[in-house]
Amino acid sequence: MSDKNTCTTGTLLNCCLYFTANTLARIMGRFADDCFRDTGLSPSHAFTLMLVNEQPEISQKELGEALHLAPSTMTRFVDKLIAKGLVQRETSGKLARVRPTERGKQLAKPIAESWKALYYKYSDILGEEEGQELTRIIDTANRKLEG
């Protein structure tokens, strides 16, 4: 008769995908914050810069699509990266294209390393195979849910 099996709402919450997904996201958020701390960027900003480094002149719309983030969020992200001197925004017509500065390019390697550290951090706990499997399953669900 473990506590785990009594049917209180407390445990019922764990049967709710909204709830478990949010919990996982917050846990991973803490992990990622730790790993990316020495890049001086939050994980999302680091990912943004990573995409910009990889595809210079990418538009903000494209960034938003790649990151599944709202347009206004991309504006704030790019604003912040500009403030840190890591990218430039070049508005050509109605598009805003984003390009890395030299300092931005130099961050490519530290970001890649932080990202790898994050991968190992959760893989060490979940097991590498299981971690990948979990990621794959969630990704598949995301595609379905996004319609």
> Which residues in this chain contact DNA in the complex, by CB under 7 A?
22, 26, 30, 42, 44-45, 59-61, 64, 68-80, 89, 91-97
**Which of 31/88 has CB closer to a copy of itself?**
31
Cβ(101)–Cβ(86) below 8 Å? yes
How far apart are CB 114 and a copy of itself at their closest, in Å? 11
Looking from the CA of 23 toward its CB, the CA atoms found within 13 Å total 8
Binding of a copy of itself at residue 132 (CB under 8 A)?
yes
Instruction: State which of residues 39, 45, 50, 78 lies at the interface with a copy of itself (CB under 8 A).
Output: 50
Cβ(99)–Cβ(59) below 8 Å? no
The span from the CA of 65 to the CA of 146, in Å, is 12
The span from the CA of 46 to the CA of 62, in Å, is 16
Binding of a copy of itself at residue 38 (CB under 8 A)?
no
Binding of a copy of itself at residue 28 (CB under 8 A)?
yes
Helix crossing, 128-146 with 108-126: angle to 10°?
110
Cβ(99)–Cβ(52) below 8 Å? yes
**Which of 12/25 has CB closer to DNA?**
25
**Which of 128/142 has CB closer to DNA?**
142
The span from the CA of 86 to the CA of 14, in Å, is 41
Binding site for a copy of itself (CB under 8 A): 8-10, 13-29, 31-32, 43, 47, 50-51, 54-55, 66-68, 115, 118-119, 122, 125-126, 130-132, 134-135, 137-139, 141-142, 144-147
